[in-house]
Amino acid sequence: MATRSEAEKLKSKGITCRGTHNLLAWRRSVLGLAIIGMMVVSWFQYEDTFVALDHYNTTVTKMNQDIVYDAARDASSFRAYGQRVAEASGAAAMVDIMWIRVQCSRVLVGVNLFAIVVLLLALYFWDVYHRSRKLMLTSWLLAFAAPFAISTTPTRYFVRWDKFANQTDIFINGAAEHYKVDEREAQVVASCGAITDPSNPQTLEEMRYNVDRMCGYLKDVDGGIMNWLSGDRISQARRNCEIAQEAVEDGRIDDALEITTETCDDILSEVEAAEGDNMDSLQRLQMILLSQDMATKARVAAELLISLANALWAVKGMVPAAVAIAPALLRGSLTVKQLIPQSTIPGMFVILLPWLYCPLVWCLYNILFQLTGTLALFFGLLLLAFGPMNYSLLGTYFHITKPMDDKTVIGNVRKMNVSSALLVLLTPSATTHLVFSTFAKYLVTTIAGVDFVVGEITSQRDFEVFLTTGNDRGGHRVSALTRSKINFLMKERNERLDDLCKANDNKVNIKGMDRWGVEMGINRVGDRMKAVNTRALKINGKPPPKPPRTTLPPQFPKMGGGNKRKSYV
């Protein structure tokens, strides 16, 4: 409620309506709360900047750590070496993205501080509504556009895959050294040479010894990573060894020789190819040839994880803004409806906004539900997402879109607020930062919603005055139209609206009767129209002009039994 001194101050500016005084005083108070909330948000964002900078420094440290294989240090735990290489590779790929996050956090802090300054100016000019309104909408646009603009940064293109590939090669060489593939290659080649040498015929015992030695070397090779990197060739060689050993035990030397010769030919051919390409060993060649497939798979997995992490980081900044928009506009529409109960535009927002907002929010919350699947969370998220639907249903029940008087609209809005009180308590509060972000942007959007709806109402009234009098006070730049053209536009507008009313309800009676059959005199209609026009014009900072005296159209009856027609404006 506006105090006496505030009312006198507004009256000195030509604003005399008590309802307008209360709205501007309420708006000033909410502006103060929004500034406090924005300050808290800026403090948290300032801390996030230091956290992002610390994460960047940690990433740089991990990227620069030594990942070259050291037998004295890494021979006992090759898994630890692999984890160190993976950590360094991930850090090398993410270092540029971490730096971008630091810069984005700094930009958000700067934008929030500038928005606070603009809000302070809007608070300072609270009694000059048209100026405060422009400042308020500017601050709202800054506070809400910044997170969405930052989310459009293509962070995926800043991943340094060249560093990732280089460290993959280092890991391959380290794995080859750890598993001593050079020694094992020489041992396998010597065994194969003894078996397949045509100038050295072997006895059964010699064949058994050479086959067992070659198979022992193959079995000694790690059956995990080496087999995966060699395209299942290690497993195939082991199966051939088992067949050859069974043949030797059965005395089938020829069969054993044939199987081992086939296996050794494959091994020796690979060795010759490796020597021709100046490679060190067979297994290293196989690992290098097949490392491209491993690197591709690892890159795709890392790319998906990095993209998901960046998306979640962007969502953290956008959720408070996105979640606060529709409830705040809903609250602003209810406030404007209390200010101008004769207007139908705020009621339309109250009815329509929940139907647009609730399904979209449920799509977001459904992700959380699918991740957990708990029944309690399902009902909680369901109430949280579809809570604003209560306003739409109650607004439909109370006919909030129809023109009302002050007493009726205040009672209906109070009932709607009481009915929705429990649902309002379900505002998202996962973290303190999210709470204050949502709260601050909820307040800012509430005021922005009020200013937007009031601006639309005043613009509509300016256009109605233009159609009625030809006075282009709204700046539509259509004053050049002739009077006959204006009358034609007004006639077309009235005919189309009357036809829509008839099509919507066959009980419509244009002779001063509303659709519920309650007689409404022309004088009362004129009083309501004057109240709407006066409030809308005063709140927009323009003095209300003297309404033109217009005679009733022929279809309206004479009131009061006299022959003189009364003005309906």
Query: Are 306 and 350 in a shared domain?
Result: yes
CATH of the domain at 210: 1.20.120
Query: Are 270 and 310 in a shared domain?
Result: no
Domain membership of residue 488 (yes or no) is no
DSSP-derived secondary structure for 313-369: HHHHHHHHHHHHHHHHHHHHHHHHHHH-TT-SHHHHHHHHHHHHHHHHHHHHHHHHH
Query: Are 386 and 298 in a shared domain?
Result: yes
Structural domain total, the chain: 2
pLDDT in tens, 292-310: 555 566 666 766 777 777 7
Domain membership of residue 501 (yes or no) is no
Domain membership of residue 519 (yes or no) is no
Domain membership of residue 533 (yes or no) is no
Query: Are 382 and 269 in a shared domain?
Result: no
How sure is the predictor about 370, in pLDDT bands with cuts at 50, 70 and 90? confident
Query: Are 318 and 400 in a shared domain?
Result: yes
Question: Which of 461, 482, 509 delimits the end of a domain?
Answer: 461
Query: Are 234 and 299 in a shared domain?
Result: no
Domain membership of residue 492 (yes or no) is no
Is 60 exceeded by the pLDDT of residue 515?
A: no
Query: Are 254 and 383 in a shared domain?
Result: no
Burial level of 439, CB count in 10 A (0-12/13-18/19+)? buried
User: Six-digit token pair at 8?
Assistant: 């006198």
Query: Are 343 and 254 in a shared domain?
Result: no
How sure is the predictor about 117, in pLDDT bands with cuts at 50, 70 and 90? very high
Residue 191 or residue 503, greater confidence: 191
Domain membership of residue 12 (yes or no) is yes
Range of the structural domain that residue 423 is part of: 4-162+294-461
Q: Calculate the dihedral angle through the C-alpha atoms of 379, 443, 118, 450, rounding to the nearest 10 degrees.
A: 120
DSSP-derived secondary structure for 71-92: HHHHSS-HHHHHHHHHHHHHHH
Query: Are 125 and 54 in a shared domain?
Result: yes
Residue 513, phi then psi, degrees to nearest 5? -115, 130
Give the pLDDT score at 375: 77
pLDDT in tens, 517-540: 333 444 444 555 555 556 555 555
How sure is the predictor about 121, in pLDDT bands with cuts at 50, 70 and 90? very high
Domain membership of residue 269 (yes or no) is yes
Q: Calculate the dihedral angle through the C-alpha atoms of 553, 559, 563, 565, rounding to the nearest 10 degrees.
A: -40
pLDDT in tens, 448-506: 666 767 776 777 677 677 666 666 665 555 545 555 666 666 676 666 666 556 555 54
Residue 545 or residue 341, greater confidence: 341
